[in-house]
Amino acid sequence: MKRKILAYNFEFSETLDQLRDRFDVEIFKAINPKTDPHFLQALKQAEGIVGLALPVDKELLDSAPNLKIVSNNSTGFNNLSIDEMTKRGVMGTNTPGVLEDTTADAIFGILLAAARRIPELDQFVKSGNWKHYLTRKEYAIDVHHKTLGIIGMGKIGSLIAKRAHFGFDMNILYHNRTRNHEAEEKYHAVNCSLERVLEESDFVCLMTPLTPETENLIGEREFQLMKKSAIFVNGSRGRTVDEKALIEAIKNKEIHGAALDVYQIEPLKVEHPLLQFPNVVTTPHIGSSTFETELKMAKLAVENLVAGLNGERPRNLINPEVLN
C-alpha cells in the first residue's frame, strides 16, 4: 500500500507525476483546510504534505498523527509553526536559492511601472484618450540617478540594488540588521538608519522577511518621514505594512505613490481602497511567478519531500533539530 501525500495548491503535473509513481497523492486546490471534510479525512493518513501557503499550526498537526514532513513550495515559511512541528518530530522544508533573480526583476519592474505610470498610461491609450501631445498631467518621474532606499538587504534586496546601480546609476541607501559588505563594495550601497533611508530616498523598497519585529514596520510615522515625492515599494510581505496608514498617506498626498506586490489579506477584494488610486501599482504577488522559476521550485519541493520520507536529511531542512 502506497504512503499518502497531500498536494496543496501545487500546480505542476510534471512533478506530481513523479510523486504518483511512488505515493498515493491527493490534490487539493482552493479549499478551506480548516473545514473541508475530504482534506481533513485525508490528513489522518498523510505522511507528507507539499504545496504553497498551507497554515500548518497546532490544530492541523493534531489532525495529522502520521505526518513526517511538510515541504513548502516557497522561500518563506511563516505559514509553518516550526516550534510545534519540531516538538512532534515533523520536518519542515522550503525552496531557497531559486527565485531571487526572478523576484528582483518583478520588484524593480513595479518600481519602474509606478515611476513612469505605465499601467495608468496604458489605460490612457486603450481608452482612446491619447488624442494629442502629452501635457504635464501625463508626465511621470525619472528613475535614473535617483536615490533608492532598501529596507532589508538580503539576497533579493542585493539583486534589486544591483539592477538599480548598474542599470540606472542610482544611489543606494539601505537599512539591515547586519552590514552587507558585498553590497557596499559592489553597488556603493550606504548602510544607515531606518530614519535616514525614509527621509532621503526617492524610492523606498521594503524587502524584509515577516517576523514579530517587522510586522507593521512601516506605518504612519514612517510614511510621514518620507519625501512627498517618494514612491513606496513593497515586495516583502503584506503584514510588514500598516495598510490603513498607507491608504491615508496616499489619500493625503504624504507620498507620491506606491507599487505593491503583497497585501495583508490576499487576494485583494475588488472594493479594496488601494485599488481606487491611479498612482498605486498593484500586482497579484507575482514575485516568483514565471514558469521557469516556479517549475524549479516545485522540483526542489518534491526533492525535499522525497528525501524526508526516505529517512534522509532534506537539502533545505528548516528545523534540523528535529533529527535529534
Amino acid 324: pLDDT? 83
Q: Is residue 47 included in any domain, yes or no?
A: yes
Report whether pLDDT(197) > 90: yes
CATH number (domain holding residue 234): 3.40.50.720
Is residue 248 exposed (0-12), middle (13-18) or buried (19+ Cβ within 10 Å)?
A: middle
User: Could you tell me if 178 and 201 lie in one domain?
Assistant: yes
Amino acid 13: pLDDT? 80
User: Could you tell me if 172 and 198 lie in one domain?
Assistant: yes
Q: Is residue 287 included in any domain, yes or no?
A: no
Express each pLDDT in 31-85 by its tens digit.
Answer: 999 999 999 999 999 999 999 999 999 999 999 999 999 999 998 898 999 999 9
Express each pLDDT in 220-269 by its tens digit.
Answer: 999 999 999 999 999 999 999 999 999 999 999 999 999 999 999 999 99
User: Could you tell me if 214 and 316 lie in one domain?
Assistant: no
Gap between the Cα atoms of 208 and 81, Å rounded: 19
Q: Is residue 109 included in any domain, yes or no?
A: yes
Q: Which residues are identified as catalytic?
A: 237, 266, 285
Q: Name every residue whose Cβ is closer than 8 Å to that of residue 15 and which is 6 or more positions away in sequence.
A: 295, 298, 299, 301, 302
Instruction: Read off the C-alpha cell for 285.
Output: 504577488
Q: How many CB atoms lie within 10 A of CB 42?
A: 18
User: Could you tell me if 154 and 64 lie in one domain?
Assistant: no
User: Could you tell me if 216 and 244 lie in one domain?
Assistant: yes
How many structural domains compose the chain? 2
Residue found under cell 526583476: 105
Confidence of residue 158 (pLDDT cuts 50, 70, 90): very high
Report whether pLDDT(1) > 90: no
Report whether pLDDT(203) > 90: yes
Order of strands, sheet of 91-93, starting from the edge strand that comes earlier in the sequence: 24-28, 4-8, 46-51, 69-72, 91-93
Q: What is the pTM of this model?
A: 0.89
The DSSP string of 228-284 is: TT-EEEE-S-GGGB-HHHHHHHHHTTSSSEEEES--SSSSPPTT-GGGG-TTEEE-S
User: Could you tell me if 161 and 274 lie in one domain?
Assistant: yes
pLDDT, mean over the chain? 96
User: Could you tell me if 276 and 149 lie in one domain?
Assistant: yes
Domain that holds residue 71: 4-98+292-323
Gap between the Cα atoms of 294 and 304, Å rounded: 15
User: Could you tell me if 23 and 70 lie in one domain?
Assistant: yes
Q: Bridge-partner residues for 149, per DSSP? A: 173, 204
Amino acid 219: pLDDT? 98
Q: Is residue 36 included in any domain, yes or no?
A: yes
Amino acid 17: pLDDT? 87
Largest CA distance in the chain: 71
User: Could you tell me if 218 and 106 lie in one domain?
Assistant: yes
User: Could you tell me if 109 and 94 lie in one domain?
Assistant: no
User: Could you tell me if 106 and 94 lie in one domain?
Assistant: no
User: Could you tell me if 315 and 204 lie in one domain?
Assistant: no
